[in-house]
Amino acid sequence: MAKITRVWLDESEYECTMCGSCEAVCGSVFEVPEKMVIKEGADLSLKEEIEEAAKGCPASTIAIEYENSGKRNNPLIDRY
């Protein structure tokens, strides 16, 4: 499986609701002081936790980019 190379807040379609779900699932990568931010130096090798957080995001605002591929938004994760 391809490694995750980047994770970010993508509000091009919807806005982060600041629900805190991503932080609850993977607090070493996500924090929600207001809107979600990726922690500095976050360990992107935590692939399963990051994907779980993205799948659980009610606003589909967590974007993931994989090695050698383009951006994958939350609803598309299961396809890869």
Interacting residue ranges for ligand SF4, rule: CB under 6 A: 16-22, 32, 36, 57-59, 61-62
CB of 19 to ligand SF4, least distance (A): 4
Cβ-count burial 9-32 (b if 16+ within 10 Å, e if not) = bbeeeeebeeeebbbebbeebbbb
CB closer to ligand SF4, 10 vs 66: 10
CB closer to ligand SF4, 19 vs 42: 19
CB closer to ligand SF4, 47 vs 56: 56
What is the separation, in whole angstroms, between the first and last Cα of the chain? 8
